[in-house]
Amino acid sequence: MRFLVALLFLAMPALAEETPMSPEDFEALVTGQTLSYSSGGIEYGAETYFENRRVRWSFLDGECTEGHWYVAADLICFVYDDIPNHQCWKFYLRGGQLLARFENDPEADAIYSTHKRKESLLCLGPDVGV
């Protein structure tokens, strides 16, 4: 019996890590920050999180799209000006690192926040200098 109790205590941190962040915790963590995201060890995008749940996303190509996030059930969903579909995620803190799972496609790989900074994204826009 003691073995079972000890095993349960050992498993508790792993279970706690799989609990999605609350919208309030997510908002407190990201507001005023720019986070870079990677998948499979390759950085592919970054997002600046502003007050009032506004965001700016870039695929690191100098172009950015504005949007906002909202809560739908236990998901954090994003809507962008030029992306028609809502993007819904579950966010987790794992070892101090932000992990996101794309709920529109549960088979997709998880993405990780790799860098955190205060500066906003550099957005050049399409066809600059043309």
| Domain residue extents for the chain | 20-117
Query: Residue 108: what pLDDT?
Result: 86
- Give buried/exposed letters for 90-114 (b at 16+ CB in 10 A, else e): bbbbeeeebbbbbbeeeeeeebbbb
Does the pLDDT value for residue 45 go beyond 70?
yes
How far is residue 41 from each of residues 59, 94, 110, measured CA to CA in Å?
A: 15, 16, 11
Least confident of 18-22, 78-82, 124-128: 124-128
Phi, psi of 29 (to 5 degrees): -75, -40
- In total, the chain counts a number of residues equal to 130
Torsion 123-116-119-48 (CA) sign = positive
Per-chain mean pLDDT for the chain: 83
Percent of the chain with pLDDT over 90: 53
**Contact between 30 and 43 (Cβ < 8 Å):** no
Query: Residue 30: what pLDDT?
Result: 96
Query: Residue 13: what pLDDT?
Result: 46
Does the pLDDT value for residue 17 go beyond 80?
no
Average pLDDT of the residues in 38-66:
94
Query: Residue 126: what pLDDT?
Result: 59
**Contact between 126 and 63 (Cβ < 8 Å):** yes
Q: Could you please report the per-residue DSSP string of 37-63?
A: EEETTEEEEEEEE-GGGEEEEE-SSS-
Any idea which architecture 20-117 has in CATH? Answer: Beta Barrel (2.40)
